[in-house]
Structure 1
Amino acid sequence: MKLYSAPGSCSSAAHICLLETGLDFALVKVDLGGDRRLPDGRYLNDINPKGYVPALELDNGEVLTENVAVLQYIADQKPESGLAPANGTLARYRLQEWLGFVNSEVHKTLGLLFNPKLAEVAKPALLEKFGQRAAYLDQHLAAHQYLMGDQFTVVDAYLYIVLGWCPMLGADLTPYPRLNAYLTRVAQRASVKAATGG
């Protein structure tokens, strides 16, 4: 497998999860700020016509995109890793529920703040929306070590990476002590340190 990833982007969650599983993979770093040319001379759009990461190139040549799909695929290659509950169980649907929340409510909200064309007047509303989502997460984590309980899963890798953008976007996490404690816990994992250079 090859993971096309930009360090610090949401695709770093897939990098973390591949390290968690111990699966054999090659990491292809993509510079999203440049022309997106890859080391082999191709461009990112040659791999993923949508033009973004993650893209997971499978051994058979197929390419899987979209973080939610890529993360679950990785977890399912090594079920004993505990990165995702078994398919067909209620716990798996709970994982998908969390992945949907992180993707649409946290990632997309914070992601809009990266847009240099975003009107200044729109930023407070986005930060307020993010604050509501952070408060919900903080409340949930009062009774859980990780989003799914006591087990680290793919959604924790995803949330950790996305919340890492907060300092550069002006999103204040100090009002959320349990969320901060959670981030500290996740940061201590060997896979997270290896993927993020921590």
Structure 2
Amino acid sequence: MKLYVSPGACSLSPHIVFREAGLNVEVEDVSLASKKTKSGDDFKAINPKGKVPTLRLDDGRVLTEGAAIVQYLADLAPASNLAPKAGTFERVRVQEWLNYVASEVHKGFSPLFYPTTPEQTKQTTIANLSRAFDFLSTSLAEGPFLLGSTFTVADAYLYTILLWTKHFGGDLDLAKWPVLQGYVARITERPAVRATLDFEAELKKAGAAKS
């Protein structure tokens, strides 16, 4: 299998998951600006959406959308407990969290990444994210992870998106939400997460040197 990623993007989430699961997955960097892979392939020929993460299976089939990819990877390594068994209420709970993170947190950041976004829209975006952070703080107050004591694919996704707050600071500084700040610090210290961050830092450094 090959996972297409771009350092700093939401593809960090499945990258963390496959390392947590102990799976053998090749990683290839993608330039989202040029839509070219590191090996020079046309990325849009692989994924017409032109977005990461993208997972290409050994038989050539392609899977897109992070929430789908992380569940697929978790099911390849059930002993990792990264996702409860399909058909259980706990699995639906993980899917509930994945959908919440995707729709309310991940997409909630989108206006902030565009320089042409009007200031009023940015302020509304920050207010909406702040409310989401309040909700997440309450949800995480009684357990280290979203499902209590077990780290799951939903945590990998939420952690990835919360890292984006460092680009904005100010009103989105996680110091205002100590529970979330502790959550991010705790997950950062997981060996698989640390290894993934280091790997992507090297990818970013290599890309910067090449440009």
TM-score by length of 2: 0.90
Alignment of 1:120-159 (within 5 A): 120-159=119-158
In the alignment, is the contact (CA less than 8 A) between 2:104 and 2:132 conserved in 1? Answer: yes
Question: Aligned residue for 1:108?
Answer: 107
Question: Aligned residue for 2:78?
Answer: 79
Displacement of 1:42: 1.6
Q: Percent identity at matched positions? A: 43
Displacement of 1:31: 2.0
Question: Aligned residue for 2:6?
Answer: 6
Displacement of 1:3: 0.1
Alignment of 1:54-73 (within 5 A): 54-73=53-72
* Structure 1 residue identity aligned to 2:191: A
In the alignment, is the contact (CA less than 8 A) between 1:110 and 1:169 conserved in 2? Answer: no
Alpha-carbon distance in structure 2 between the residues aligned to 1:30 and 1:71: 19
Alpha-carbon distance in structure 1 between the residues aligned to 2:189 and 2:132: 24
What does the per-residue CA deviation read over 1:79-98, in whole Å, with 9 as the maximum and x for residues that have no partner? Answer: 11010000000000000000
Displacement of 1:121: 1.6
Question: Aligned residue for 1:161?
Answer: 160
Question: Aligned residue for 1:179?
Answer: 180
Unpaired runs of 5+ residues, structure 2, are: 202-211
Displacement of 1:141: 1.1
Superposed CA RMSD: 1.2
Alpha-carbon distance in structure 1 between the residues aligned to 2:9 and 2:149: 26
Higher helix share: 2
Alpha-carbon distance in structure 1 between the residues aligned to 2:10 and 2:37: 18
In the alignment, is the contact (CA less than 8 A) between 2:4 and 2:54 conserved in 1? Answer: yes
What does the per-residue CA deviation read over 1:49-101, in whole Å, with 9 as the maximum and x for residues that have no partner? Answer: 01100000001100000011001000000011010000000000000000001
Displacement of 1:39: 3.0
